[in-house]
C-alpha cells in the first residue's frame, strides 16, 4: 500500500489520509479547549467560584466509563469513520446548544454539565474508533510516527488554545469563541469525509468473538485476561496514570504555596509541560518507536519519574521546576506512544475497538482516584507533617524544605519513587520483559473485499 496516494474515488489514504484526519482532530480540539477556557471565565463571573467547572471532568468521565464496553463492540461492528464523524457532530451540536442558550440569556452552569455528559458518551465511541482506525489506515512501520502525532496534539492545544482564547475573548466574546469551535468541528468532519479508512479483515479472534452485543462487549476483557503480559502492561500504565495524576493534582497549590501565590511562575511551569509534550511527540513522529519497545518504554518511564516529580518536589525555583515539568511529559509521551504501538501490533485489527475501549476505561479509572488521594493526603497528612517543629520537617526538611508547600513537595518525591519502582517492573517481571516474544504480532490486513470503497 502506497502511504501517500488517493483511491480512484478521490479519497486520501495511507499516511497522507491519516495526516488529514489528525489535522482535523487537532484543529477541532483547539476549538474545544478555547470554548472550555471561555466557559471557565463565564462560570467565574456568574458563580464567583473558580472551581465551578471542576465537575465537568467528572460528568464527562462517568458516561465514558459506563459506555466503554458497549462502545468497543459497536466500533468493531460498524464503520469507524462514521463513528468518528458522529462523535464530532455530537460535540458540534452540543456547542450550538450552549451558544443558543447563551445568546438568549438562558445558559446556566447545569447546562454545561449536561453537555459534558453528552460529549463524554460520544467520546466513549469516538476515541476507540480513532485509535483502531489508525491501525488500518497506515502501514505498521508508521505506527510510531502516528502515535507521536496523536500524543503531540493534547500538549500543543494546551499552549495554543488558552493564548488564542485569551487574545480573542475581549474582542468577540464567548459567543465568538463558540462559533469558532463549531467551525472547527465542521473542519474535522470535512477532513474525515475525504479520507479512506479501510475495514479490517476478520481474524480468528474476531470469529471467536461473534455473538450477541453483550458477548462481544465482554470479549475485550476476556482478550486481556487470556494475555497476561498485555494485562500487566495495562495495569502498569493504570498505576502510572494514578501516580502522575496524584502528582499533577498538587502541582499548582504546591508552587503557589512555595512562591507566595506567584501566578506568573505557575503559568511558566505549566507552559513547560506543554513544551515537553510537544517535544516528546515530535521525537516520536520523526523517529518512531524504539526498536526494542518494552525496554524503550520502561526506560522512558524511569526517565519521566526520576527527572519529573522528583525535581518538581525538591525544587524551589523556576529553572528546576521547568526542567522537571519538561522531562516528565517529554518522556511520558515516548512511553505512551511506544505503548500504543505495542497495542496496535499485538491486537488484531477487527477486535481493537473492544480491547481499546477496555484499555481506555481501566486507565481512566485511575485518574479520579489519584485526585482524591492527593487532595486528602495533602490537606490532612503531609502539609501538617512538614510544618516547622513536627517530626516530618526534622526527617525530610533537608530534602524538600519546610513550611507551606513542603508537604506537597514530599508527596511529589514519593510519587517519583513509586514511578521508579514501576519503571523497574519492565525489567524485573518476566511477563512484561518478554512481552514482545510472548505475544505474537497480528498479521491482520484491511479487508480486500471492500476494494477502494471508503469506509
- Average pLDDT over the chain, rounded to whole? 87
**Looking at the structure, do residues 257 and 191 belong to the same domain, yes or no?**
no
354 contact partners, CB below 8 Å, separation of at least 6:
69, 72, 73, 75, 76, 209, 216, 217, 219, 220, 223
Report yes or no on 208 lying in a domain.
no
**Looking at the structure, do residues 77 and 190 belong to the same domain, yes or no?**
yes
Q: What is the pLDDT of residues 339-383, one digit of tens each?
A: 999 999 999 998 988 899 999 888 888 888 888 888 889 889 988
pLDDT of residue 49: 61
Tell me which DSSP letter residue 104 carries. Answer: T
> Percentage of residues in the chain with pLDDT exceeding 90?
48
**Looking at the structure, do residues 153 and 235 belong to the same domain, yes or no?**
no
Band of the pLDDT at 448, cuts 50, 70, 90? Answer: very low
Q: What CATH number does the domain containing 6 carry?
A: 1.20.1250.20
Of 196, 53, 63, residue with least CA distance to 138: 196
Band of the pLDDT at 3, cuts 50, 70, 90? Answer: very low
**Looking at the structure, do residues 237 and 182 belong to the same domain, yes or no?**
no
Q: What is the pLDDT of residues 152-199, one digit of tens each?
A: 998 899 889 888 988 898 899 999 999 999 999 999 999 999 999 988
* Residue 105 vs residues 53, 98, 328, 340, 374: alpha-carbon distances, Å: 19, 10, 43, 44, 38
In this model, does residue 117 exceed pLDDT 60? yes
In 3-state terms the chain splits into helix, strand, coil percentages (rounded to 5) of 80, 0, 20
**Looking at the structure, do residues 335 and 381 belong to the same domain, yes or no?**
yes
Give me the mean pLDDT over the 223-247 stretch: 92
Report yes or no on 204 lying in a domain.
no
Q: How far apart are CA 278 and CA 439, in angstroms?
A: 31
201 vs 19, residue with greater confidence:
19
Most confident range (mean pLDDT) of 53-57, 70-74, 420-424 is: 420-424
**Looking at the structure, do residues 56 and 141 belong to the same domain, yes or no?**
yes
Compute the Cα dihedral for 105, 110, 114, 116 and give only its sign: positive
Helix axes 109-137, 80-103, angle to 10 degrees: 160
**Looking at the structure, do residues 181 and 273 belong to the same domain, yes or no?**
no
DSSP H stretches of helix in 104-227 = 109-137, 143-193, 204-208, 213-226
Q: How far apart are CA 115 and CA 102, in angstroms?
A: 14
Task: Tell me the three cell numbers of residue 194.
Answer: 475525504
Report yes or no on 450 lying in a domain.
no
pLDDT of residue 335: 94
Structurally, how many domains does the chain consist of?
Answer: 2
> Percentage of residues in the chain with pLDDT exceeding 70?
93
Task: Tell me the three cell numbers of residue 44.
Answer: 467565574
**Looking at the structure, do residues 185 and 305 belong to the same domain, yes or no?**
no
Task: Find out whether 108 and 385 touch, Cβ atoms under 8 Å.
Answer: no
Band of the pLDDT at 51, cuts 50, 70, 90? Answer: low
Q: How far apart are CA 217 and CA 212, in angstroms?
A: 8
Task: Find out whether 34 and 181 touch, Cβ atoms under 8 Å.
Answer: yes
Q: Which of 167, 199, 231 is the last residue of a domain?
A: 199
pLDDT of residue 452: 40
Q: How far apart are CA 76 and CA 253, in angstroms?
A: 43
Report yes or no on 453 lying in a domain.
no
In this prediction the pTM is 0.86
Q: Which domain range does residue 84 map to? A: 1-199
Q: What is the pLDDT of residues 380-427, one digit of tens each?
A: 998 899 888 888 888 888 888 888 889 999 999 999 999 999 999 999
**Looking at the structure, do residues 234 and 344 belong to the same domain, yes or no?**
yes
Report yes or no on 399 lying in a domain.
yes
Q: How far apart are CA 358 and CA 349, in angstroms?
A: 15
Task: Find out whether 190 and 96 touch, Cβ atoms under 8 Å.
Answer: no
Helix axes 14-47, 109-137, angle to 10 degrees: 170
CA atoms within a 13 Å half-sphere pointing along the CA-CB vector of 411 = 31
Report yes or no on 210 lying in a domain.
no
31 contact partners, CB below 8 Å, separation of at least 6:
180, 181, 182, 183, 184, 185
In this model, does residue 45 exceed pLDDT 80? no
Give me the mean pLDDT over the 244-265 stretch: 87
Helix (H) or strand (E) holding 354: helix 352-377
**Looking at the structure, do residues 41 and 113 belong to the same domain, yes or no?**
yes
**Looking at the structure, do residues 259 and 175 belong to the same domain, yes or no?**
no
Q: Which of 199, 229, 251 is the last residue of a domain?
A: 199
pLDDT of residue 50: 52
Report yes or no on 342 lying in a domain.
yes
Report yes or no on 400 lying in a domain.
yes
**Looking at the structure, do residues 255 and 113 belong to the same domain, yes or no?**
no
Of 324, 355, 354, 323, residue with least CA distance to 342: 355
Amino acid at each position: 500500500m502506497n502511504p501517500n496516494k488517493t483511491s480512484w474515488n478521490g479519497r486520501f489514504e495511507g499516511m497522507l489520509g491519516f495526516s488529514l484526519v489528525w489535522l482535523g482532530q487537532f484543529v477541532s480540539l483547539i476549538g474545544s479547549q478555547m470554548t472550555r477556557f471561555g466557559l471557565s471565565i463565564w462560570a467565574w463571573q456568574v458563580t464567583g467560584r473558580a472551581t465551578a467547572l471542576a465537575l465537568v471532568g467528572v460528568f464527562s468521565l462517568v458516561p465514558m466509563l459506563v459506555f466503554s464496553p458497549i462502545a468497543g463492540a459497536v466500533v468493531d461492528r460498524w464503520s469507524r469513520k462514521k463513528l468518528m464523524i458522529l462523535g464530532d457532530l455530537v460535540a458540534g451540536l452540543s456547542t450550538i446548544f450552549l451558544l443558543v442558550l447563551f445568546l438568549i440569556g438562558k445558559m446556566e452552569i447545569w447546562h454545561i454539565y449536561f453537555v459534558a455528559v453528552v460529549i463524554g458518551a460520544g467520546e466513549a465511541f469516538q476515541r476507540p474508533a480513532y485509535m483502531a482506525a489508525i491501525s488500518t489506515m497506515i502501514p505498521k512501520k508508521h505506527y510510531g510516527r502516528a502515535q507521536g502525532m496523536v500524543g503531540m496534539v493534547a500538549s500543543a492545544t494546551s499552549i495554543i488554545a488558552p493564548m488564542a482564547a485569551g487574545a480573542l475573548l475581549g474582542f468577540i466574546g464567548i459567543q465568538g469563541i463558540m462559533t469558532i469551535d463549531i467551525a472547527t468541528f465542521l473542519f474535522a468532519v470535512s477532513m474525515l469525509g475525504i479520507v479512506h479508512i479501510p475495514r479490517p479483515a476478520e481474524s480468528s479472534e474476531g470469529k471467536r468473538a461473534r455473538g450477541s452485543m453483550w458477548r462481544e462487549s465482554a470479549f475485550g476483557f476476556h482478550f486481556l485476561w487470556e494475555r497476561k503480559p498485555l494485562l500487566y502492561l495495562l495495569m502498569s500504565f493504570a498505576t502510572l496514570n494514578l501516580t502522575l495524576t496524584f502528582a499533577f493534582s498538587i502541582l499548582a497549590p504546591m508552587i503557589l504555596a512555595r512562591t507566595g501565590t506567584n501566578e506568573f511562575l505557575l503559568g511558566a511551569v505549566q507552559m513547560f509541560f506543554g513544551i515537553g509534550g510537544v517535544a516528546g511527540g515530535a521525537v516520536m513522529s520523526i523517529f518512531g518507536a524504539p526498536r526494542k519497545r518494552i525496554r524503550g518504554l520502561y526506560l522512558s518511564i524511569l526517565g519521566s519519574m526520576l527527572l519529573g516529580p522528583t525535581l518538581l518536589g525538591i525544587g524551589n525555583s523556576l529553572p528546576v521546576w521547568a526542567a522537571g515539568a519538561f522531562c516528565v511529559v517529554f518522556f511520558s509521551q515516548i512511553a505512551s506512544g511506544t505503548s500504543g504501538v505495542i497495542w496496535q501490533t499485538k491486537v488484531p485489527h477487527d477486535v481493537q475497538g473492544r480491547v481499546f475501549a477496555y484499555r481506555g476505561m481501566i486507565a481512566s479509572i485511575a485518574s479520579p482516584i489519584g485526585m482524591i488521594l492527593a487532595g486528602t493526603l495533602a490537606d490532612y497528612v503531609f502539609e501538617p507533617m512538614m510544618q516547622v517543629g513536627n517530626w516530618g520537617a526534622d526527617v525530610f526538611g533537608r530534602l524538600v524544605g519546610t513550611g507551606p508547600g513542603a508537604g506537597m513537595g514530599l508527596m511529589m518525591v514519593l510519587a517519583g519513587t513509586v514511578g521508579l519502582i514501576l519503571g523497574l517492573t519492565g525489567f524485573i517481571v518476566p511477563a512484561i520483559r518478554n512481552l514482545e516474544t510472548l505475544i505474537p504480532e497480528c498479521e491482520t490486513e484491511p479487508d480486500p473485499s471492500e476494494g477502494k470503497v471508503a469506509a
